[in-house]
Structure 1
């Protein structure tokens, strides 16, 4: 009888897809390149809401923000609105634990709403008075039994963790680069999991770098990027190198790339450990991120915007002999935040046990050799991913959008300004330099967005205005 497969699920915060693409960013990632060469790298993996907490909540629960409760980044300011992954939200880890898996989570979580005690025992308030770090009680870990984690703390060189059943005041403080330490802990977990007659494991490793602060790098990091010119560092034509933002991006890029290279080294350590423990053949390994980073594109530095640099994420899978290694498939199959949970379950043979509350699509049928998953499903007939942005106050816009492999349509609405839209033809304009102005094409995409939102049981304040546009009124 075939062995029950293991899962090693790796997330690196703010690691954009361009870092691991041929012709992409000028950064060296030999271990991820090897992983992609031996496996599958999806060209159309995107974040529905490219900022940490909302994506992570969708990734875990397979539900859109209005269902899982995480409509904003989780911190003390948003906690008063009830933002935090709902205790009753489904999770892929819960399904696997119930199926007998040894589940573990290491690193950044950022799905727990902080309470006042977290301001004392966690990272503490920032200059603006908000605090982001939070302890996760035992009954709010969504299916993970082994726990070595924290909420949100950007001290890469002095991280801290809560582990096992330790109380809120019993955190573990560490000196050293967080990603390397978390990899040490993951390697320890793998050694324990490799024993004879052990249960299959599902381990999530969540690194905070290459997220800022960009200058908090490990000893011995690759400093060669500092010798590169801005034009060599920032090759995308939607970056204005001579602008204030462009110059700041050129200052950030060598540090960001150094962190990316250092993350790649940690991937190599994990892959080597799987080989040494004879776990490679039986382990599905996935490397991904929660969102990307603009790094000067469209005169922006960070994320939480509907541009490709923020929305697109790496999604690299390796599982010897199990995956359909077809370049056409890798280039056409789409996957977004809400699809990750059901797809993980489908890949591991639990497609028939995907909780009914999950709203994402299981695309494992397109990824596995044999063409269908155990629920008899192949890839969805067409790929489209919703985009979300929830405003923080009345001055901001409610934003919804729809990205396909060839087009991106974004609709913005508030009561003051009404509805405005932007349409990009990604096939001819991959850097989103020119908005399409054809009224009929815009109307057709308005219909598609309206239909997708309805199918996902989503309402929003711009609904009536979008309906009028879709009807040509």
Structure 2
């Protein structure tokens, strides 16, 4: 079985038409959900680019691998590419990396940084960049499977389109009758800001026409920025959706669709004005809740188009992918293998986690970022609990309050529930070897 990851940057779970958003149409991603399993409670355990990506590639928690923004992934840490290669897979990566520790500023642009080959995660083919934030001015470099260099060059068009071209070329070079399976990754910057897309997508979304989430406050400055940013973000997502369709078409044309599973997700979300906040790093739903869809050959699932409430986390993606391919999960991976939910149409699995562990280990200096370290959990029974050092912060019953309008963290009526959640969070911190000063309650 082959496996493909497709993921964007800063794409919240609610920003898909299959998840009920009326502002955009994502027919290709909807088709993935209609033919697979949509994990509606999936989270980014660390809603910040570099920590998420380190955990994604290694299945280790941020405090064990990449704790903060622009921190480098340790050289000696094994990766998901190593795990697949050990099983005889060909591996390929296309797009944003953000794991080399390059310190970007106004005079030092990440897109111009050349990542040494030994810092590219062990992928056989790797064509990408450290960081970009300029979708019409995207530079890439890398190497091919045969060892030849891909010289640093400017992509000839919009980033998502050109990176998808690389993925399609890779697929067309595979023969469906070859014995060597593959694991390939497409990592695009959109819908990360700046929120620009090709004109045919931008012109479809007028800021004044958008329906906003109920938790966006009626404050003029917030509303104006939210509408402006969202109109571009929705255009970017619809363009990404078109590229998902291109990849699916290439799989069908090569016959690889019969033996390839696709995992679609994001590194984190974007607040887009909810609670008056913007961007990421905070623990509210718009920041931590991400799309996560598994889709592939119909023979793998008896019922397409179902949803799962499993709280799959960022560290679980690599082991789940290995499980989907029938491979053994290495003991060094921290995450849980959720593949039987897809493969066997099961919802309850042995020793399945009852919650997902959330962290911002090192606060960033980004504008609109949370300037405190925090820890939290999201539970399978619908609760979220988040603490700062020495201080309970947030507690929501997401079943009754999906927009997180009623914070119960300091409500005496919920002291017993808070104690249960607090103790579980303490357990997560101890079991993962994290260090954090928990509050007394």
Q: TM-score, normalised by structure 1?
A: 0.85
SS in 2 for 1:193: coil
Q: Which of 247-256 and 387-396 deviates more?
A: 387-396
CA gap 1:356/1:274 in 2 versus in 1, 3 angstroms: same
Instruction: Report deviation, 1:103.
Output: 0.6
Instruction: Report deviation, 1:87.
Output: 1.5
CA gap 1:393/1:52 in 2 versus in 1, 3 angstroms: closer
Does the aligned pair in 2 maintain the 1:193–1:199 contact within 8 Å? no
SS in 2 for 1:452: helix
Structure 2 distance, partners of 1:206, 1:30, is 20
User: What do residues 398-420 of structure 1 show as CA deviations (whole Å, max 9, x unaligned)?
Assistant: 2110111400000001xxxx323
| Correspondence for 1:180 | 161
| Correspondence for 1:154 | 133
Match of 2:299 among 321, 324, 331: 321
Structure 1 residue 404 and structure 2 residue 358: aligned?
no
User: What do residues 274-297 of structure 1 show as CA deviations (whole Å, max 9, x unaligned)?
Assistant: 111111110011111101111110
| Correspondence for 1:135 | 114
| Correspondence for 1:114 | 102
Structure 2 distance, partners of 1:182, 1:424, is 39
| Aligned 1:293-312 pairs, distance under 5 A | 293-312=270-289
Structure 2 distance, partners of 1:412, 1:324, is 44
CA gap 1:324/1:41 in 2 versus in 1, 3 angstroms: farther
Structure 1 residue 288 and structure 2 residue 276: aligned?
no
Question: Unpaired segments of 5 or more residues in structure 1?
Answer: 75-82, 116-124
Flag the structure with more relative contact order, 1 or 2, with Cα contacts below 8 A and sequence separation at least 6. 2
Does the aligned pair in 2 maintain the 1:102–1:202 contact within 8 Å? yes
Structure 1 distance, partners of 2:132, 2:371, is 27
Structure 1 distance, partners of 2:110, 2:207, is 35
Does the aligned pair in 1 maintain the 2:37–2:308 contact within 8 Å? no
Structure 1 residue 221 and structure 2 residue 201: aligned?
yes
User: What do residues 418-464 of structure 1 show as CA deviations (whole Å, max 9, x unaligned)?
Assistant: 3233211111001000111122222221111111221222221x13x
Structure 1 distance, partners of 2:350, 2:219, is 44
SS in 1 for 2:201: coil
CA gap 1:279/1:362 in 2 versus in 1, 3 angstroms: same
Structure 1 distance, partners of 2:263, 2:96, is 17
| Correspondence for 2:337 | 362
| Correspondence for 1:452 | 428
CA gap 1:177/1:393 in 2 versus in 1, 3 angstroms: closer
Structure 1 distance, partners of 2:364, 2:39, is 36
| Correspondence for 2:349 | 378
Match of 1:39 among 36, 55, 59: 36
Instruction: Report deviation, 1:22.
Output: 3.5
CA gap 1:43/1:250 in 2 versus in 1, 3 angstroms: same
| Correspondence for 2:419 | 443
Instruction: Report deviation, 1:222.
Output: 4.7
| Aligned 1:7-86 pairs, distance under 5 A | 7-20=3-16, 21-24=18-21, 26-68=23-65, 70-74=66-70, 83-86=71-74
Structure 1 residue 237 and structure 2 residue 234: aligned?
no
Structure 2 distance, partners of 1:349, 1:393, is 39
SS in 2 for 1:175: coil
Match of 2:90 among 96, 102, 124: 102
Structure 2 distance, partners of 1:228, 1:276, is 41
Does the aligned pair in 2 maintain the 1:15–1:289 contact within 8 Å? yes
User: What do residues 290-349 of structure 1 show as CA deviations (whole Å, max 9, x unaligned)?
Assistant: 011111101012111101111011111112221363777x33222100111111111111
SS in 2 for 1:9: strand
Does the aligned pair in 2 maintain the 1:90–1:358 contact within 8 Å? no
Question: Unpaired segments of 5 or more residues in structure 2?
Answer: none
SS in 2 for 1:45: coil
SS in 2 for 1:233: coil
Q: TM-score, normalised by structure 2?
A: 0.91
Instruction: Report deviation, 1:8.
Output: 1.4
SS in 1 for 2:123: coil
Instruction: Report deviation, 1:254.
Output: 1.1
Does the aligned pair in 2 maintain the 1:363–1:379 contact within 8 Å? no
| Correspondence for 1:431 | 403
CA gap 1:277/1:412 in 2 versus in 1, 3 angstroms: same
Instruction: Report deviation, 1:241.
Output: 3.6
Structure 2 distance, partners of 1:393, 1:139, is 27
Does the aligned pair in 2 maintain the 1:51–1:304 contact within 8 Å? yes
Structure 1 distance, partners of 2:417, 2:345, is 37
SS in 2 for 1:18: coil
Number of residue pairs the alignment of both structures matches:
426
| Correspondence for 1:257 | 234
| Correspondence for 2:247 | 270
Instruction: Report deviation, 1:228.
Output: 4.6
